[in-house]
Amino acid sequence: MSFFKMLLGFAPWICLLSLAHGSLERLKIGLVVVAALTVGLAVTRLHRGVIMWVGLLFFAYAIVAVVIQGDLWAVRHMAALANGALAVAVWAGIALKRPFTLEYARKQTDPALWTHPVFLRTNHQLSTAWAAAFSACAALAWQRSAEPAMPGWAYEVASNTLLLSAMLFSTWYPAHLKRRRQAQAAQAD
């Protein structure tokens, strides 16, 4: 999956990170904007699969809890809830043998390879990397909201590093496997 397509797939979540911090009003405005963005991306089919559904459900919940009800617990734990929702969805997909990356990988892979063990294993590994990153980000966010052990900027650097690492791995790993297969084929000839 290309880096740009990953950014587009996670655009609502990235947008939430950049818009919804600093004040309750910014959080409320950010949630409404991000929910509208998620619906728009879903309708235009630029956003799909489990990440789209988690986004639609999570942002609907967040609007009800934060914007309508003013639930301060949800406000305080928004980052942990967001990352936790993504982690649960991705781990569930892995458990059900439907890694979320399959939705994206199939768009750029020959349908004849969709059931190939290497294709399936690669997507399992990519989704596992994402699930681990989301889980670690959720744990960091929960710890930050409960009893911070380090400055706020350190949590943000750690979370962003985890997510960027998952994105880079998702770009690098399939290309690495392809180069390795090509090298092996060249040696066999």
For 106-155, the pLDDT digits (tens) are: 888 899 989 999 999 999 999 999 999 999 999 999 999 988 899 989 99
For the record, the structure tokens of 187 come out as 């040696």
Give the number of other CB atoms < 10 A from CB of residue 126: 23
Query: For 74-95, what is each residue's pLDDT tens digit?
Result: 999 999 999 999 999 999 999 9
Q: Is the pLDDT of residue 2 over 70?
A: no
Length of the chain: 189
Least confident of 7-11, 24-28, 49-53: 7-11
The identity of residue 47, as a single letter, is H
What is the value of pTM for the model shown? Answer: 0.90
Query: For 91-107, what is each residue's pLDDT tens digit?
Result: 999 999 999 999 888 88
Q: What is the 3-state secondary structure (H, E, C) of 49-83?
A: HHHHHHHHHHHHHHHHHHHHCCCHHHHHCHHHHHH
Query: For 18-50, what is each residue's pLDDT tens digit?
Result: 887 789 999 999 999 999 999 998 898 777 788
**CA gap 8, 24 in Å, rounded:** 26
Give the per-residue pLDDT at 25. Answer: 93
Whose tokens are 């999570």? That residue is 58
Give the per-residue pLDDT at 1. Answer: 60
Q: Which residues of 149-186 are buried (b: 16+ CB within 10 A; e: fewer)?
A: eeeeeebbeebeebbeebbebbbeebeeeeeeeeeeee
Give the per-residue pLDDT at 126. Answer: 96
